[in-house]
Structure formats: C-alpha cells, structure tokens
C-alpha cells in the first residue's frame, strides 16, 4: 500500500489564529441570529436586539483581526 508523504501543516501565526477564531465566532452569531428570526415571537424582541449587538461585535472583531493579519503579511512581504 502506497501512501502519500506526510507534510506537517504550517503553524498558523497569532494573527491567523485570531482571524480564524473571529470568523468562527461571527459564523456562530449569524446562526444564532437566523435562529432568532425563525422563532417569529413578539415576546423575544429583546433577544433580537441582543443578537444584533453580538453580531455587530463579532463583525467588528473579525474586521480588526483581518486588518492585523493584513499588517502582519505586509510586514513579512516587505522583509523578504
């Protein structure tokens, strides 16, 4: 049986890890918001507001992480 050579996956930088975490969090918040929309309850208006706040924070966190990753990669490129 022939197997392909195993190459170690490159380690993610801190900025890449933070970006991945922020993207996962945003995705989770989107899922939660969609679930809140499907409920169609007029009693959960406060929950919709809370979802909006969490979604906004998660999007902002991802934006910050992406900008940091961009700066990291630009610095690496300039160092070459």
pLDDT band at 1 (very low <50, low <70, confident <90, very high): low
d(CA 22, CA 28): 10
What average pLDDT does range 10-33 have in this prediction? 96
Instruction: Pull the structure tokens for residue 50.
Output: 């809370």
CA angle 28, 32, 33 (to 5 degrees): 115
Encode pLDDT of 14-25 as tens digits.
999 999 999 999
Note the pTM of the prediction, 2 decimals: 0.80
d(CA 79, CA 68): 17
């Amino acid at each position: 049986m022939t197997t392909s050579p195993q190459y170690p996956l490159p380690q993610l930088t801190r900025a890449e890890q933070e970006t991945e975490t922020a993207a996962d969090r945003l995705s989770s918040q989107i899922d939660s918001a969609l679930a809140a929309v499907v409920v169609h309850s007029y009693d959960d208006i406060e929950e919709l507001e809370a979802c909006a706040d969490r979604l906004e924070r998660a999007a902002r966190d991802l934006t910050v992480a992406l900008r940091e990753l961009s700066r990291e990669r630009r610095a690496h490129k300039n160092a070459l």
